[in-house]
């Protein structure tokens, strides 16, 4: 028997889902399948190429961290952590941190801990943050005698070798599909009007249209949208000129959002008698035209807007 959860129970489960980070992924089934095929192809080539340059004992230690890189390059090809410099720089810097710690710190536990911490710090400062780099630093310490015997040669074979192979596969594989260009530079963002305004629903729709995994959840999106709104509110806009027939918005979020059209302007003998008659065209309180003082209307109105194919945006 099928039944519908009550409102209270649904809210309870929604909170638990958010707590565990089980958020909706906007990418299509085809996109998910392509990510898996790309990752499998890359790792297969890494294994094949590595056997010509390093022993199997050496190569096998680096496959786990390269496998983690494959997740980023083929599931999140446009993400900042997946780009060429984070990939190459992240692995090399981390490998250098790991080898250095092994050479100067005799205790394996301390060396492993410091290697990962040093790798994270260096990647941050060198702007090549790449999570799999932490595994590369760790392997340099715990990889055993076959890895330790390589010394700093470990940076070139197998680390750089594996990185260049997976980088080449990512460029070629993603180039086969127009929406999966890699690096992200080859997929430039469309130009837009300066200070264009968007709603939360607009962002969600755009994520689905991208058909690619984006490393941002619903809470991050809401936070970003709120910060954008706060910034817009804090930056003084140009002096608004009131005109009959023009549309104005209070720039608020969600249910507080309003758009009003000026129906009439009246001027008295003093500024205090100036009045604006408006009708609300968008919002939750549509009603008959109302009249307020010009000062009150100007304090409410944050920007003049216009409708373009059903979408409201700032008028310049």
Per-residue pLDDT tens digits for 61-88: 767 899 999 999 999 998 899 999 999 9
- Residue 6 is predicted with a pLDDT of 53
Is the pLDDT at 1 greater than 50? The verdict is no
Is the pLDDT at 132 greater than 90? The verdict is yes
Q: Does any domain span residue 4?
A: no
Q: Does any domain span residue 149?
A: yes
Neighbouring residues of 71: CB distance < 8 A, sequence distance ≥ 6: 39
Cβ(187)–Cβ(205) under 8 Å? no
Candidates 257, 259, 260; CA nearest to 276 is: 260
Least confident window among 29-38, 82-91, 216-225, 286-295? 216-225
Dist. CA 41–CA 26, nearest whole Å: 24
- Residue 152 is predicted with a pLDDT of 94
Vertex 314 angle, CA 309 and 316, to 5°: 110
Token code pair at residue 136? 């590369």
Residues 99 and 215 in one domain: no
Regarding pTM above 0.75, the answer is no
Q: Does any domain span residue 84?
A: yes
Residues 177 and 80 in one domain: yes
Residues 115 and 252 in one domain: no
- Residue 90 is predicted with a pLDDT of 97
Query: Which domain range does residue 212 map to?
Result: 200-234
Residues 80 and 220 in one domain: no
Least confident window among 18-22, 198-202, 252-256? 198-202
Provide the sign of the torsion angle of the four alpha carbons 67, 72, 74, 80, taken in this order.
negative
Residues 148 and 30 in one domain: yes
Please state, as a whole number, how many other Cβ atoms lie within 10 Å of the Cβ of residue 62.
Answer: 27
Residues 176 and 204 in one domain: no
pLDDT in tens, 182-216: 998 887 655 544 445 555 566 666 666 555 556 65
Q: Does any domain span residue 7?
A: no
Residues 30 and 86 in one domain: yes
Quickly state the pLDDT bin for 104 (edges 50, 70, 90).
Answer: very high
Candidates 243, 307, 304; CA nearest to 276 is: 243
Residues 124 and 260 in one domain: no
Is the pLDDT at 33 greater than 80? The verdict is yes
Region 145-165: mean pLDDT is 90
Residues 143 and 252 in one domain: no
Residues 162 and 33 in one domain: yes
Token code pair at residue 12? 């309870």
Q: Does any domain span residue 143?
A: yes
Quickly state the pLDDT bin for 241 (edges 50, 70, 90).
Answer: confident
- How many domains is the chain partitioned into structurally? 3
Dist. CA 228–CA 219, nearest whole Å: 14
Q: Does any domain span residue 272?
A: yes
Q: Does any domain span residue 204?
A: yes
Burial profile 76-107: b = 16 or more Cβ within 10 angstroms, e = fewer: bbbbebbbbebbbbbbbbbbbbbbbbbeebee
Residues 71 and 180 in one domain: yes
Q: Does any domain span residue 58?
A: yes
Dist. CA 197–CA 193, nearest whole Å: 9
């Amino acid at each position: 028997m099928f039944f519908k959860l009550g409102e209270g129970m649904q809210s309870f489960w929604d909170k638990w889902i958010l707590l565990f980070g089980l958020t909706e992924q906007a990418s299509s089934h085809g996109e998910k399948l392509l990510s898996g095929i790309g990752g499998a192809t890359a790792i297969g080539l890494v294994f094949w190429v590595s056997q010509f340059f390093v022993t199997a004992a050496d190569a096998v230690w680096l496959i786990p961290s390269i496998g983690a890189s494959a997740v980023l390059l083929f599931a999140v090809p446009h993400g900042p952590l997946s780009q060429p410099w984070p990939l190459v720089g992240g692995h090399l810097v981390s490998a250098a941190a790991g080898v250095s710690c092994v050479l100067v710190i005799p205790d394996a536990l301390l060396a492993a801990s410091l290697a990962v911490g040093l790798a994270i710090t260096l990647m941050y400062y060198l702007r090549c943050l790449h999570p799999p780099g932490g595994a590369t630093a760790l392997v340099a310490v715990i990889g055993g005698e076959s890895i330790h015997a390589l010394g700093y040669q470990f940076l070139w074979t197998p680390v750089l070798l594996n990185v260049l192979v997976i980088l080449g596969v990512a460029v070629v594989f993603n180039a086969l599909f127009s929406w999966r260009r890699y690096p992200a530079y080859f997929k430039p963002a469309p130009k837009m009007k300066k200070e264009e305004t968007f709603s939360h629903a607009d962002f969600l729709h755009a994520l689905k249209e991208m058909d690619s995994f984006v490393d941002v959840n619903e809470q991050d999106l809401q936070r970003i949208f709120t910060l954008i709104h706060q910034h817009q509110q804090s930056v003084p806009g140009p002096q608004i000129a009131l005109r009959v027939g023009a549309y104005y918005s209070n720039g608020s979020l969600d249910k507080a959002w309003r758009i009003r059209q000026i129906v009439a302007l009246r001027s008295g003998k003093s500024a205090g008698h100036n009045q604006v008659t408006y009708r609300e065209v968008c919002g939750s309180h549509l009603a008959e035209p109302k009249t307020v003082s010009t000062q009150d209307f100007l304090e409410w109105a944050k920007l003049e807007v216009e409708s373009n194919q059903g979408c409201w945006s700032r008028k310049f």
